[in-house]
A and B are shown apart, each in its own frame.
Chain A
Amino acid sequence: MTAQKRFLSILFFMCSFASLSASAVVSGDSTLPNVSFSFPIHQHVYDVTNGLFFVGADQDSTCSNLSLAVASLATSFQALSPQSITVNSQDGQPNPLFSKKISQLALIQNAGLVAVTADNPSSMSLLYSFLEFNTSTQIYVPQPAQAKLLTTTGINDAAGNVTAGVVGLAASSAFAYAAVKKNGATFGEVGGGIALLAVNSLDKKNAVTGAMGGNLAAPLDPTTPAVKITSNLASITANMVDMYYDYYLDRLYIALQVTANGGASDGARAIVVGRVAGGILNFDAIAPDAALTGTNHIVGATGSGSQIFLFKVRTLQTSSKLSYLIVEGNNGTTGGPNIFALPLVDKTPLNQTSDPVHGTLAKFDSTPMDQYFPTYAYPIQSRGLTTQATAPADLLTNTSTQAIVGGGPLPLGTSQVITDIFARNDAVYVSIGNSFDGTTRPGVFYSQAILDSLGRIKAWTPWQRAAGTDNTMFGIALDQRSGRMWLMPGDSVTTLTVVRLTDWTNGAGDGLLGGPPTNRTLGLVDQLSVLLPKEQGGIQNFFNFSETTPGFGTVPPTANNQISMAVAVGLNNVVLCETGRNATASQFRADTGDFATGEKIFTDGTLTGFAPDGTAKIVAISGGVLGTIGPLTSAEVSRIPLSGSTTNGYLFVGGTGGVAVLSAANGAGWDTSSPNGGLHAGFVNLTGTMSFKTVGSYTNVRKLVCDGTYLYVLTNTLLDRITISSIASGPLVTVHLATLTQLGLQSFSSFSDVIVSQKLGILATSAGLYRVANGFNIANPALTSGGLGWTNVPLPEGLGTATRLLAVSPTGFDAGLAAGGMGGMLYVMGGAVSFNQARVYRFSIADVSSSAIGDATVQSLNDLFIKNVPSFFVEFGSYRNFIATEGTSLLNEISGTQKNGPLLFDFGQLVMGNRYLAKNGNPAIGALPLTSTSSVRQMLRNSASGSWLVGGSHGLFVNE
């Protein structure tokens, strides 16, 4: 690429997403604004433990000493490939990486990097000695000046000839694994294989015999038993390989694209498990032949010409300590949009990690085995599924809810593939580099695993946006100590020059929610700070309603038919904020920049004069009935799906002084007729005849929930159910579902949170957690006041309180907690201000959409610390107001206290068995420069952009 072309490319790149560049650019050598490097980059690896992001140049000649570079949260990119370096213990030698395109790159945890350059693909270099342990932060930090290099040339293929090139690379703390082409040919045919190099010397081993210096790759080709079933494979797609090394399981996973031979009993496996024993690299079958008899087992199939194309492979260990294989791909050749999770055998609890079965597919419904330390009090040491899948019924299929990450395919064309993936704890993040079209939505998406009572994955949340961007994205990583994301946006994989890092800020002028760089006051953040000023308590709660909320427009091909909305509430004030719309047909995108143009402000509790022209992104309403409610705490929409010629779209708000509904004079809500009704972009279908009206007689409202039929009103002492249709028609049909007396609680007890899903209601109280009793149905139309039974749900090793409920639902809505086929998962926080403590408990919730509530409906997860003592998931060590999780970490917040401003913490390890979190395990994200009088509210994701939003007295804080 010429300099001119590159410059034009950069200009185009900058223009193409100038409005979505909120995250900060991490500086490299570029002097251009918003550009990191003056040359293309591509290869990248992320050191999760130490928070280091490494990139490799994608072009020779111009990258000089930045052909390898590293950055951290604290530093911009530092050069790791000086022109002269100690090579193989010889000081001052020419650096073979200097100014070279890096074609392969792999991380050796806490030790270094292995790299292959494009110009010398049969050689390998190991960069080491540049990491220094910082005792105060307990992480390694780069010291580039200390870097040294080992290098080796002439890596052989499986036939003993110098390879034509390395096409895949992974590393453990002992070995580097290189997928090598056959000399003069490709990887995937006989002669290709996996070369094994000792990382302490880069000695090229004989991977077949284990001999040092033997320089022979282990053959991996259509004849390898680990990939073939019955007959040799018809083919392995040339040079298509992805490798991932699992440090915990001590196994190498190799993803291939395979085609079986023509016999009916012929089959293929697309995942190979690599295991080094005695210096020999063994390839184990991911599952035995007998288990892979069909054509739907994701990683293997039997049948004439069966094909399995896998594009990416990763592993994760869930927060319940179970290992899973994560793959992109499917049976067939068009599995790009599919991500699957399959349970792996972990024989650590049996101390049998050398067993070839270790690391292969586990019987998905087997019971995990726990291992405890042998001394009193026998704390948990490990957990794993120890039974291998040996029959087809033992394996999940590509239609199994447990296996389908995201609950379905990514927003990606069938011929497209993701550009990056990482899996950690209970989440899988992917990046998409293709541009918007009918199906494809670029950006970053994640899905969270939903665990059953034994800690196994039983379902996944729908794919949701993350990182506050819908740029085409080619690389991602997540810092587990701060929740900040590393991003590599760009136009194409060959022109990447930018690395960005999201940050927790007020977003000032960030081009997204923080407003245009030239005028931040137009942004949502500043607009909210004006409409809900700090002097009046700022944002007293914040709610997100995605574009799939029932009652919103449902016709993507019609431009501006769809809307996503956030509702901010404050003192006598409610602010509706459009967060996204499909301004272009079938392209639902987040709103950014200017939120102020078209803004409508009403001060008499009505929408009088509102004639929506589709431009308004903010509608603020105060006064009138709202003036009598005082501080607002809750907002909800009716969630009634579009149907017929109905007008059932309502917005409800609640607060200290009661509940109000936004409706027309005749009680009608917005148009919910099918198919073209619903709330549209610009709040079209709200009308000038609407106003807020009081509903019932309530005080101290804590939460409003709608299930499409009923409005549930939770106050500090009461849970009521109101039939929504009666609000318009009158008289109000109200059922008292729970009172303190009914639950047998003493005076001064209180309710704090509720979730309603199908028949199930879960109530958090100062005296613990309650659920709807067996056989009862909270949505039963025939219910009368006091007629609903409640059952206490024990909180293992609990404080006795339940303060917050956090649903992880297969539908993405709280209402889906007990639905979706397998049900969801519930995080319960029990905070006790009296003792300055907060604990989190976890429950598996069964689907009760077609069955009655029973003893198995709400089951505690098998979180524990000590043998045979069920316990909580984690204790924060001090009080917390709110928690939030997306699967990789558990964010937790506390409002300002007498000594500190509000704090946001990140429990980034998110694994059971920690019991009490030490400071380093739950570090404060030091980015809330607020006073001790500041309050923070429930943090949530902006569903349109994936930004984290933290509302509070300070206004809005964002991570984007």
Chain B
Amino acid sequence: MIRTRYVVALFLLGLSSRVSATIFPLNIFQPYDPNVYKPYRGKDVTTDFAVTPEFGLSSHGYSAEEFPCDPPKKGCRVNVLRLWQDEQDALAMLKGFPLNSEIGSLAQQINVDDDNGVRGHICFTGDLDVRYNISLSNRWYLPENFILGFYLPVISLKMCSKFQDLTQMITAEDFLTKSLLTDNLAANVEQLGNGYKIGSWERTGVGDLSAILDWAKVFPQDKPFLKNVRTRARFGLSFPTGKKQDVDEIMSIPFGNDGGLGLIFGIGLDLRLIPILQCGVDVEFLKVFSVERERRIKTDVSQTDLLLLAKTCAVKHFGFTHHFNLYLEFFKVMGGLSAGITYQFWKHEDDKLAVVGNNFSSDIANTAKSLEEWTYHNLIYKVSYDFDNGQGGVLSSPYLALFYKQPINGKNAIVTSTVGFIASLSF
């Protein structure tokens, strides 16, 4: 039996080949998110296997609060490719390069009269399709209430990118900008940007593998409005097995921590108030260690984040990430049927870049909007049925849940409303 479980586990792990966007502001589930596996251990169960496919319905972005919305408000809802700027600046794109370089010379030729706020401005429109995000988990119940879990996501995303050149055709500089740059923007950007593509992309693969040791213990209570208390704590590592950000794709999304080793720590508290009503809170922290790799950086403060031609080696110091869940659930109100709602909040603090070498300025690179703090807020509606009746004997104690995730706000983040289910087997 144990051998069979190992085979199943390995099979599930083998299926996985890609990440979740932990370090990127996209609100798809992490595979170790408490919302995506069976929350309670069944009687005599030694291991759980769970598969949680999540399918995106529609995506959009929430801009930063200082984004020039009309009327101004915190976190405007924007298209995903206008997350950081409403318009991209193809003229600013050429700035910051040596004057004797191809880019510097082109800038000089076009920009003799500089950017007038319209010339060279590009309006991008993107459609991000979260085709699926499958979280795979295998949790082993160890003595003393410890649980060792392995988690791996498999993700498939597709970005459809379109753009419109806003340059007018009324001045000589307009005509020059069009003829030399924006009439053939994609090819020019790819050539000048050393392979940078601003067109559509799609990518599928595994994310970062996580290994987390949980501890959870239930403390029964004999009070009118508190039947038991469960405390939880966890500690784990996220290994950089996932696809990294592709610096040659527009708004590329890494499937994990972008090559960084992650340190995860979380605690939780669940309260069963009455037999059919429980609530709880879960707080988690993620520290991703710095990674040096080739990245696209700003070479001028006026540049916009989607049109960056400079690709250079830089160390990224990731900001601290923390999130919490707050839930209320009607627990097994009819057999194994439960229904609940969870409020989820994510926050990632500013990232910093340290450019390797002296060719570019770290100070300028760090003015990128994409490095700034991001947040998002979700509501997760879940209906589940646990075939484990607490008596044991139910074949593999299956657990099924349907969920709908509704993003409700954010800042500097792409959010997707998703639906999915959780299928778990326990042995």
876-903 of chain A: CB within 8 A of chain B: 879, 881, 894-898
In this assembly, does B97 line the interface, its C-beta being within 8 Å of a C-beta of chain A?
yes
The residue from B103, B104, B117 contacting A897, defined by CB atoms under 8 A apart: B117
In angstroms, how far is the closest chain B Cβ from the Cβ of A952?
A: 10
Known: A633-B172, A833-B95, A935-B171. A766 touches B108 (CB 8 A): yes
Provide the A218-231 mask, 1 if CB < 8 A to any CB of B, else 0. Answer: 00000000000000
The residue from A799, A835, A897 contacting B114, defined by CB atoms under 8 A apart: A897
Is B109 a contact partner of A766 (Cβ separation < 8 A)?
A: yes
In this assembly, does A630 line the interface, its C-beta being within 8 Å of a C-beta of chain B?
yes
Question: How many angstroms from the CA of A547 to the CA of B188 in the assembled complex?
Answer: 48
Q: Which residues of B contact A934 (CB under 8 A)?
A: 116
The residue from B111, B171, B302 contacting A537, defined by CB atoms under 8 A apart: B171
90-104 of chain B: CB within 8 A of chain A: 91-92, 94-100, 102-104
Is A896 a contact partner of B117 (Cβ separation < 8 A)?
A: yes
In this assembly, does B258 line the interface, its C-beta being within 8 Å of a C-beta of chain A?
no
Question: How many angstroms from the CA of A234 to the CA of B168 in the assembled complex?
Answer: 76
In angstroms, how far is the closest chain A Cβ from the Cβ of B299?
A: 8
In this assembly, does B305 line the interface, its C-beta being within 8 Å of a C-beta of chain A?
no
In this assembly, does A21 line the interface, its C-beta being within 8 Å of a C-beta of chain B?
no
Provide the A704-736 mask, 1 if CB < 8 A to any CB of B, else 0. Answer: 000000000000100000000000000000000
Is A836 a contact partner of B300 (Cβ separation < 8 A)?
A: yes
Question: How many angstroms from the CA of A655 to the CA of B176 in the assembled complex?
Answer: 11
Question: How many angstroms from the CA of A897 to the CA of B96 in the assembled complex?
Answer: 16
Is A898 a contact partner of B117 (Cβ separation < 8 A)?
A: yes
Is A881 a contact partner of B114 (Cβ separation < 8 A)?
A: yes
In this assembly, does B106 line the interface, its C-beta being within 8 Å of a C-beta of chain A?
yes
Known: A631-B171, A747-B102, A834-B107. A895 touches B113 (CB 8 A): yes
- Which of B105, B111, B115, B176 is most buried by chain A, counting CB atoms within 10 A of its CB? B105
Question: How many angstroms from the CA of A497 to the CA of B105 in the assembled complex?
Answer: 57
In this assembly, does A700 line the interface, its C-beta being within 8 Å of a C-beta of chain B?
yes
In this assembly, does A138 line the interface, its C-beta being within 8 Å of a C-beta of chain B?
no
In this assembly, does B89 line the interface, its C-beta being within 8 Å of a C-beta of chain A?
yes
By beta carbon, the residue of chain B nearest A936 is B113
Q: Which residues of B contact A661 (CB under 8 A)?
A: none
In this assembly, does A380 line the interface, its C-beta being within 8 Å of a C-beta of chain B?
no
Is A749 a contact partner of B109 (Cβ separation < 8 A)?
A: yes
In angstroms, how far is the closest chain A Cβ from the Cβ of B159?
A: 26
The residue from B96, B113, B169, B173 contacting A834, defined by CB atoms under 8 A apart: B96
Is A834 a contact partner of B116 (Cβ separation < 8 A)?
A: no
Question: How many angstroms from the CA of A716 to the CA of B171 in the assembled complex?
Answer: 15
The residue from A537, A801, A881 contacting B108, defined by CB atoms under 8 A apart: A801
In this assembly, does B170 line the interface, its C-beta being within 8 Å of a C-beta of chain A?
yes
Is A835 a contact partner of B95 (Cβ separation < 8 A)?
A: yes
In angstroms, how far is the closest chain A Cβ from the Cβ of B185?
A: 16
Is B175 a contact partner of A932 (Cβ separation < 8 A)?
A: no
Question: How many angstroms from the CA of A750 to the CA of B108 in the assembled complex?
Answer: 8
796-841 of chain A: CB within 8 A of chain B: 799-801, 803, 831-836
Q: Which residues of A contact B169 (CB under 8 A)?
A: 630
In this assembly, does A638 line the interface, its C-beta being within 8 Å of a C-beta of chain B?
no
Provide the A745-787 mask, 1 if CB < 8 A to any CB of B, else 0. Answer: 0111110100000000000001100000000000000000000
In this assembly, does B274 line the interface, its C-beta being within 8 Å of a C-beta of chain A?
no
Question: How many angstroms from the CA of A535 to the CA of B174 in the assembled complex?
Answer: 13
Is A833 a contact partner of B114 (Cβ separation < 8 A)?
A: yes
Is B109 a contact partner of A748 (Cβ separation < 8 A)?
A: yes
- Which of B109, B117, B172, B174 is most buried by chain A, counting CB atoms within 10 A of its CB? B172
Is A834 a contact partner of B100 (Cβ separation < 8 A)?
A: no
In this assembly, does A571 line the interface, its C-beta being within 8 Å of a C-beta of chain B?
yes
By beta carbon, the residue of chain B nearest A541 is B172
Is A630 a contact partner of B116 (Cβ separation < 8 A)?
A: no
605-657 of chain A: CB within 8 A of chain B: 630-631, 633, 655-656
The residue from B102, B176, B302 contacting A716, defined by CB atoms under 8 A apart: B176
Question: How many angstroms from the CA of A750 to the CA of B109 in the assembled complex?
Answer: 5
Interface size on A, residues (CB 8 A): 44
Is B113 a contact partner of A935 (Cβ separation < 8 A)?
A: yes
Q: What range describes how many residues of B lie at the interface?
A: 35 or more
Known: A536-B170, A834-B300. A800 touches B100 (CB 8 A): yes
153-201 of chain B: CB within 8 A of chain A: 168-176
Known: A540-B171, A801-B99, A834-B300. A767 touches B116 (CB 8 A): no
Known: A656-B176, A898-B302. A834 touches B104 (CB 8 A): yes
Is B109 a contact partner of A716 (Cβ separation < 8 A)?
A: yes
Is A571 a contact partner of B170 (Cβ separation < 8 A)?
A: yes
In this assembly, does A933 line the interface, its C-beta being within 8 Å of a C-beta of chain B?
yes
830-859 of chain A: CB within 8 A of chain B: 831-836
Q: Which residues of B contact A537 (CB under 8 A)?
A: 168, 170-171, 174
Q: Which residues of B contact A894 (CB under 8 A)?
A: 114
Known: A631-B172, A631-B174, A750-B105. A897 touches B116 (CB 8 A): yes
In this assembly, does B118 line the interface, its C-beta being within 8 Å of a C-beta of chain A?
yes
Q: Which residues of B contact A836 (CB under 8 A)?
A: 95, 300, 302
Q: Which residues of A contact B111 (CB under 8 A)?
A: 833
Question: How many angstroms from the CA of A801 to the CA of B98 in the assembled complex?
Answer: 11
In this assembly, does B112 line the interface, its C-beta being within 8 Å of a C-beta of chain A?
yes
The residue from B92, B113, B170 contacting A881, defined by CB atoms under 8 A apart: B113
Is A631 a contact partner of B170 (Cβ separation < 8 A)?
A: yes
Is A799 a contact partner of B105 (Cβ separation < 8 A)?
A: no
Q: Which residues of A contact B104 (CB under 8 A)?
A: 834
Question: How many angstroms from the CA of A912 to the CA of B389 in the assembled complex?
Answer: 90
Question: How many angstroms from the CA of A894 to the CA of B114 in the assembled complex?
Answer: 8
By beta carbon, the residue of chain B nearest A630 is B175
Provide the B325-347 mask, 1 if CB < 8 A to any CB of A, else 0. Answer: 00000000000000000000000
Is A748 a contact partner of B172 (Cβ separation < 8 A)?
A: no
Question: How many angstroms from the CA of A895 to the CA of B116 in the assembled complex?
Answer: 7
- Which of A656, A748, A836 is most buried by chain B, counting CB atoms within 10 A of its CB? A748
The residue from B106, B118, B176 contacting A700, defined by CB atoms under 8 A apart: B176
Q: Which residues of A contact B113 (CB under 8 A)?
A: 881, 895, 935
In angstroms, how far is the closest chain A Cβ from the Cβ of B263?
A: 40
Is B117 a contact partner of A834 (Cβ separation < 8 A)?
A: no
The residue from B105, B116, B302 contacting A935, defined by CB atoms under 8 A apart: B116
Question: How many angstroms from the CA of A639 to the CA of B102 in the assembled complex?
Answer: 39
Is B106 a contact partner of A748 (Cβ separation < 8 A)?
A: yes
Question: How many angstroms from the CA of A618 to the CA of B112 in the assembled complex?
Answer: 30
Provide the A377-413 mask, 1 if CB < 8 A to any CB of B, else 0. Answer: 0000000000000000000000000000000000000
Is A540 a contact partner of B302 (Cβ separation < 8 A)?
A: no
In angstroms, how far is the closest chain B Cβ from the Cβ of A766?
A: 4
Q: Which residues of B contact A932 (CB under 8 A)?
A: 116-117
The residue from B98, B102, B116 contacting A748, defined by CB atoms under 8 A apart: B102
Question: How many angstroms from the CA of A23 to the CA of B293 in the assembled complex?
Answer: 63
Question: How many angstroms from the CA of A700 to the CA of B100 in the assembled complex?
Answer: 22
Is B105 a contact partner of A749 (Cβ separation < 8 A)?
A: yes
In angstroms, how far is the closest chain A Cβ from the Cβ of B71?
A: 20
By beta carbon, the residue of chain A nearest B106 is A748
Q: Which residues of A contact B118 (CB under 8 A)?
A: 933
Q: Which residues of B contact A747 (CB under 8 A)?
A: 102, 105
20-38 of chain B: CB within 8 A of chain A: none
20 further A-B contacts with Cβ under 8 Å, apart from A800-B100, A881-B112, are A536-B170, A537-B174, A540-B172, A630-B169, A633-B172, A655-B172, A656-B176, A700-B176, A716-B176, A746-B105, A749-B105, A752-B112, A767-B100, A833-B107, A833-B112, A836-B300, A881-B114, A895-B116, A897-B302, A935-B171
Q: List the interface of chain B (C-beta within 8 A of A).
A: 89, 91-92, 94-100, 102-109, 111-118, 168-176, 300, 302
> Can you identify 12 A-B contacts, CB atoms within 8 angstroms?
A537-B171, A630-B169, A631-B175, A655-B172, A702-B172, A766-B108, A803-B112, A833-B107, A834-B98, A836-B95, A932-B117, A933-B118
Q: List the interface of chain A (C-beta within 8 A of B).
A: 535-537, 540, 571, 630-631, 633, 655-656, 700, 702, 716, 746-750, 752, 766-767, 799-801, 803, 831-836, 879, 881, 894-898, 931-935, 953
Closest 10 A-B residue pairs measured CB to CB? A750-B109, A833-B111, A766-B108, A748-B105, A537-B170, A932-B117, A748-B106, A631-B172, A656-B175, A537-B171
